[in-house]
């Protein structure tokens, strides 16, 4: 009999998280689902998941699912804890307590907690999605990401925007676009180029005047791990930037044509080694990272998630997934 081990974060989103968990628990009880749950803070999610895997009997590991209910980082830390246990890749399900989650929208999981729970309970086999892994040798740490990691200009601009004193004022009057324009301009003036050493596809590349680096994950879908052959990261590196090139780059990126520019370099690989010897801003999945040096290894890997995406009505799916399904039918 399948068992759900549920890790709940009721601390970060407080009342919203409590309300969502109460709905989920009521539905599980109504359906007489076999589950166990533990409440934890986000910083303890990895150790909680690791403990579940280490203490679970071997025969029960084949029939258990670990479900995380909380913010995006809780899901990633849950997976990290399972991998740390080193026993078996237990399938993971996730229900967000945030208003939206980009990764969930991309893979087709409903933003409605009960609809997402139905997608989980209706599943009979895992579905594999790609994730990105970051190993930092300078900090001896490991992080996972679903979307992208930015280093340089984009991260610096985002950091400056968040910490701008006038941010609350402009937000109150719905004029944040003016702040973004001004902040982008001042960030361009203040941002200095930096040196990058990058080993990708068994070859070293050296760039002395780098403007920004982006490592992006694409969450493809497959029903079995053997079907996953395209779990690669996309790397974008912008070099030798001046003001005219920046305007050209901004316009080209808006139309998705930036890779036709000679100062924009694009690579795809399942593994990347990146070294930056100067202090640079970074952000991972939109979350700010401390200003730091970088000696990091990036890796793409597939991980089993427990969802039957197509098992609920089309109206309950995210907009992106609706468009994909409609296109497929045509």
pLDDT in tens, 220-243: 776 665 555 567 899 999 999 998
Residue 20 and residue 73: Cα distance in Å, rounded? 17
- Helical spans, DSSP H, in 208-288: 243-254
**59-73, 222-236, 254-268, 297-311, range with the lowest pLDDT:** 222-236
CB 277 within 8 A of CB 248: no
According to the model, what pLDDT value does residue 113 have? 94
Q: How does the average pLDDT of the chain come out, rounded?
A: 86
DSSP state for residue 253 in the 8-state scheme = H
At 195, is the secondary structure helix, strand, or coil? strand
pLDDT digits (tens, 9 = 90+) for 74-93: 999 999 999 999 888 999 99
Residue whose C-alpha is closest to residue 31's, from 104, 148, 136, 120: 120
pLDDT at 23 over 60: yes
Residue whose C-alpha is closest to residue 218's, from 311, 167, 287, 146: 146
Residue 117 and residue 109: Cα distance in Å, rounded? 9
pLDDT at 326 over 50: no
Task: Read off the pLDDT of each residue in 285-305 and give the average, rounded to a whole number.
Answer: 91
Residue 253 has phi, psi (to 5 degrees) of: -65, -35
Percent of the chain with pLDDT over 90: 59
According to the model, what pLDDT value does residue 328 have? 42
Range among 9-23, 211-225, 315-329 rated most confident = 9-23
Range among 140-144, 171-175, 178-182 rated most confident = 140-144
Q: Which residue has the higher pLDDT, 42 or 195?
A: 195
pLDDT at 259 over 80: yes
pLDDT digits (tens, 9 = 90+) for 111-169: 899 999 999 999 999 999 999 999 988 767 889 999 999 999 988 888 877 766 665 66
Residue whose C-alpha is closest to residue 68's, from 59, 60, 78, 58: 78
Residue 147 and residue 165: Cα distance in Å, rounded? 28
CA atoms within 13 A on the CB side of 175: 9
According to the model, what pLDDT value does residue 224 have? 61
Task: Read off the pLDDT of each residue in 305-323 and give the average, rounded to a whole number.
Answer: 73
Judge if pTM exceeds 0.95.
no
């Amino acid at each position: 009999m399948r068992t759900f081990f549920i890790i709940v974060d009721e601390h970060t989103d407080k009342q919203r998280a409590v309300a969502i968990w109460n709905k989920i628990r009521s539905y599980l009880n109504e359906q007489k689902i076999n589950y166990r749950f533990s409440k934890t803070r986000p910083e303890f999610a990895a150790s909680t998941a690791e403990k579940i895997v280490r203490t679970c009997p071997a025969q029960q590991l084949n029939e258990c699912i670990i479900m995380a209910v909380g913010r995006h980082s809780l899901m990633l830390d849950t997976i990290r804890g399972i991998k740390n246990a080193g026993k078996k890749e237990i399938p993971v399900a996730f229900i967000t307590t945030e208003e939206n989650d980009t990764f969930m929208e991309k893979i087709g999981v409903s933003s409605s907690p009960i609809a997402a729970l139905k997608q989980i309970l209706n599943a009979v086999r895992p579905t594999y999605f790609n994730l990105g892994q970051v190993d930092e040798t300078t900090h001896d740490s490991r992080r996972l990401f679903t979307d992208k990691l930015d280093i340089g200009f984009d991260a610096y601009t985002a950091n400056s925007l968040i910490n701008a004193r006038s941010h609350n004022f402009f937000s109150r009057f719905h004029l944040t676009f003016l702040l973004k324009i001004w902040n982008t301009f001042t960030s361009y003036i203040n941002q200095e180029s930096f040196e990058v050493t990058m080993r990708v596809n068994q070859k070293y590349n050296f760039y002395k005047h780098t403007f920004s680096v982006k490592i992006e994950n694409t969450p493809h879908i497959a029903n079995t791990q053997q079907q996953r052959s395209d779990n690669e990261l996309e790397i974008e590196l912008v070099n030798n930037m001046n003001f005219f090139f920046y305007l050209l780059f901004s316009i080209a990126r808006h139309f998705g044509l930036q890779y036709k520019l000679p100062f924009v370099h694009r690579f795809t690989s399942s593994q990347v080694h990146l070294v930056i010897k100067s202090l640079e801003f970074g952000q991972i999945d939109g979350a700010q990272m401390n200003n730091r040096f970088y000696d990091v290894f990036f890796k793409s890997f597939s991980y089993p998630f427990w969802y039957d995406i197509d098992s609920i009505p089309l109206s309950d799916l995210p907009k992106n997934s609706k468009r994909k399904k409609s296109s497929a039918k045509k």
